[in-house]
């Protein structure tokens, strides 16, 4: 009798149409996840440092522009009797300003190229490591996790990380450099006006902290629900014949609709909290502009600063708040990427299949004597499948193992091929314990024809092999 797919607790097939559902994930350690993600980005150090260098040049050019504008404005002096303009200095200043904007556009284009390359190189390495981890996972992991959810981690979660790196990493680097440079220049212009303009920072930190707490929860939940839906679709396609045979099409539709509604509700909440961040930051930023204009005008009347300085200060204040607003507007994508990275690293960190077998075992020398002695086994502790099983199969014998569904027929094959370890007892091939035989050599010596035919995208010859 051809082996059936592995049976789970109570005779269910964990990976089949009636497989166990994915449980709700709790938020994990975002700090540790970011550390691992940065480690992947850092593997392309030359691209990363090139991106930092370009962003540094862009930041310096953007910081220079308001100062040049201030010089241009101060070339125009106003008195009670007349207006005087230094056209020579004004012309040179405007030419310099145009050159700054042109160079800024050029380096911004280069930044887009470096960001795209860094993104693709990073996710290529991550996708490769994830796939390498998948093929080394024990059979038990794949039997107890939704196949659609595993595929969702390989596709949706990796793609979210790719999008976030290409769109957000440049903004994050530029934001940090801009904030530091802007504060330094503002302090040089007017320490007092700088303190007034930065008074809104504390309000920004408080508002963003409150919104972030809710956003993280819903974005992680959204990724989990998306994985569940992918798992449901995958299982529906695999088990379509069974669903149709029993007339359960409407039940399947109702179940999928309920899962879709859960994802819709969670997605709405996630997008609401993600979308409200930007407008809140803009309101706080505009309030800061009002403070600068009011106090700056009063300082100009008193002769502490010039009109050009007020203009430069407003622009610098805008540059200070711009990266904060950009990061806030992209926070939804960043949270989605972190949630996806957590799910990816969960697979990578899962225990891989190990092999302690070191015995000298060659496939060509196998005779085929198989012995099961006092075997106890259970997929879960409270559901024992085999109890004190003894079985002897001599070389050349042809036997059939029959029994009800869930009685342990497939389990015998799973134990013989070391897909699962026994709870107690001993299994030998030609008198040698299978746990002393390397898994690769043991499995190469056993041929299995599965009940469910699987055709790989290859030649007929290779599929037969």
How does pLDDT run across 260-304, given as a tens digit for each residue? 888 888 888 888 877 777 787 778 777 877 877 788 778 777 777
Confidence of residue 328 (pLDDT cuts 50, 70, 90): low
Distance of CA 80 to the CA centre of its chain: 63
pLDDT digits (tens, 9 = 90+) for 82-119: 777 777 887 888 898 899 899 999 998 998 888 888 88
Q: So what's the pLDDT on residue 13?
A: 38
Predicted local distance difference test score (pLDDT) of residue 427: 92
CB count within 10 Å of CB 94 equals 15
455: closest CA among 442, 465, 443? 465
Q: Is the pLDDT of residue 15 over 60?
A: no
Separation of alpha carbons 158 and 302, rounded Å? 58
Residue 386 DSSP class: E
Q: What is the mean pLDDT of the chain?
A: 79
C-alpha–C-alpha distance, residues 418 and 427, integer Å? 10
pLDDT tens-digit readout, 33-81:
888 888 888 888 888 888 889 988 988 888 888 888 878 877 777 666 6
| Chain position carrying tokens 């101060």 | 74
Q: What is the rounded CA–CA span in Å between residue 345 and residue 178?
A: 32
pLDDT of residue 149: 82
pLDDT band at 426 (very low <50, low <70, confident <90, very high): very high
In angstroms, the CA 21 to CA 24 distance is 9
Share of the chain above pLDDT 70, in %: 91
Tokens of 451: 């009940």
Q: According to the model, what pLDDT value does residue 115 have?
A: 86
Distance, in Å, from the CA atom of 331 to the CA atom of 270, rounded to the nearest integer, reads: 11
Q: Are 215 and 271 in contact (CB under 8 A)?
A: no
Q: Where are the domains of the chain?
A: 9-349, 363-464
For the chain, the maximum distance between any two Cα atoms, rounded to a whole number of angstroms, is 117
Q: Which of 401, 394, 390, 398 is nearest to 430 (CA)?
A: 394
Give the residue from 376, 380, 341 showing the smallest Cα distance to 140: 380
Domain 9-349, second-level architecture: Up-down Bundle (1.20)
> Hey, CA dihedral for 323, 329, 333, 338, is it positive or negative?
positive
pLDDT of residue 81: 67
Q: Structure tokens of 294?
A: 């009011």
Distances, alpha carbon 164 to alpha carbons 46, 418, 450, in Å: 20, 41, 42
**Of residues 382 and 402, more confidently modeled:** 402
Tell me the HSE value of 84 on the side-chain side, using a 13 A CA sphere.
Answer: 6
| Whole-number pLDDT of residue 33 | 84
More confident residue, 13 or 461: 461
> Rounded mean pLDDT of 179-187?
84
Q: Which residue is it, tokens 């706080």?
A: 284
Residue that is written with structure tokens 């093929």 in the block? 135
Confidence class for position 14, pLDDT limits 50, 70, 90:
very low
Q: How far apart are CA 54 and CA 240, in angstroms?
A: 54
pLDDT in tens, 95-105: 988 998 999 99
345-349, 352-356, 458-462: range with lowest mean pLDDT: 352-356
The predicted pLDDT at position 80 comes to: 63
| pTM summary value | 0.61
Q: Which segment of 11-15, 65-69, 351-355 scores lowest on mean pLDDT?
A: 11-15
DSSP string, 401-428: ---STTSSHHHHHHHHTTSS--SEEEEE
Residues 71/93, Cβ–Cβ less than 8 Å: yes
Q: Which two tokens stand for residue 53?
A: 């260098």
In this structure, which CATH number among 3.40.50.620, 3.40.50.300, 3.10.310.10, 1.10.443.10 belongs to the domain 363-464?
3.40.50.300
Between these two residues, 251 and 25, which has the higher pLDDT value? 251
Q: Using only C-alpha atoms, what is the Rg of the chain?
A: 33
């Amino acid at each position: 009798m051809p082996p059936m797919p592995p049976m789970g607790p109570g005779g269910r097939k964990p990976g089949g149409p009636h497989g166990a559902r994915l449980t709700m994930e709790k938020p994990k350690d975002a700090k540790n996840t970011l550390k691992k993600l940065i480690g992947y980005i850092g593997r392309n150090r030359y691209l990363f440092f090139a991106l930092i260098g370009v962003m540094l040049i862009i930041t310096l050019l953007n910081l220079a522009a308001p100062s040049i504008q201030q010089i241009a404005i101060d070339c125009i002096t106003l008195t009670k009797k007349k207006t005087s303009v230094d056209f020579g200095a004004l012309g040179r200043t405007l030419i310099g300003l145009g050159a700054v904007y042109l160079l800024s556009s050029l380096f911004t284009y280069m930044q887009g190229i470096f960001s795209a390359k860094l993104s693709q190189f990073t996710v290529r390495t991550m996708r490769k490591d994830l796939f390498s981890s998948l093929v080394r996972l024990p059979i038990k992991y794949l039997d107890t996790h939704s196949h659609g959810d595993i595929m969702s981690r390989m596709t949706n979660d990796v793609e979210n990380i790719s999008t976030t790196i290409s769109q957000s990493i440049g903004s994050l680097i530029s934001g940090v450099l801009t904030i530091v440079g802007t504060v330094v220049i503002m302090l040089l212009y007017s320490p007092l006006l700088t303190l007034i303009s930065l008074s809104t920072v504390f309000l920004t930190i408080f508002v963003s902290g409150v919104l972030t707490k809710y956003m993280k929860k819903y974005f992680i939940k959204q990724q989990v629900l998306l994985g569940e839906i992918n798992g449901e679709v995958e299982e529906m396609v695999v088990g379509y014949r069974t669903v149709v045979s029993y007339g359960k099409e409407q039940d399947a539709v109702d179940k999928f609709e309920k899962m879709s509604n859960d994802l819709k509700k969670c997605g709405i909440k996630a997008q609401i909290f993600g979308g409200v961040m930007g407008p809140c930051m803009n309101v706080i930023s505009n309030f800061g502009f009002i403070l600068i204009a009011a106090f700056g005008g009063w300082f100009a009347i008193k002769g502490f600063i010039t009109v050009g300085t007020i203009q430069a200060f407003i622009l610098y204040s805008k540059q200070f708040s711009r990266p904060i607003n950009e990061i806030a507007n992209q926070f939804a994508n960043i949270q989605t990427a972190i949630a996806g990275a957590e799910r990816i690293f969960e697979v990578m960190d899962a225990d891989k299949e190990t092999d302690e077998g070191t015995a000298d075992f060659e496939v060509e020398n196998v005779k085929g004597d198989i012995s099961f002695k006092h075997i106890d086994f259970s997929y879960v502790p409270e559901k024992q499948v085999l109890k004190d099983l003894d079985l002897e199969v001599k070389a050349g014998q042809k036997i059939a193992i029959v029994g009800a569904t869930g009685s342990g027929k497939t389990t015998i094959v799973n134990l013989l091929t070391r897909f699962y370890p026994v709870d107690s007892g001993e299994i030998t091939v030609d008198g040698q314990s299978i746990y002393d035989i390397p898994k690769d050599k043991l499995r190469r010596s056993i041929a299995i024809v599965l009940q469910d035919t699987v055709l790989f995208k290859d030649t007929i010859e290779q599929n037969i092999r």
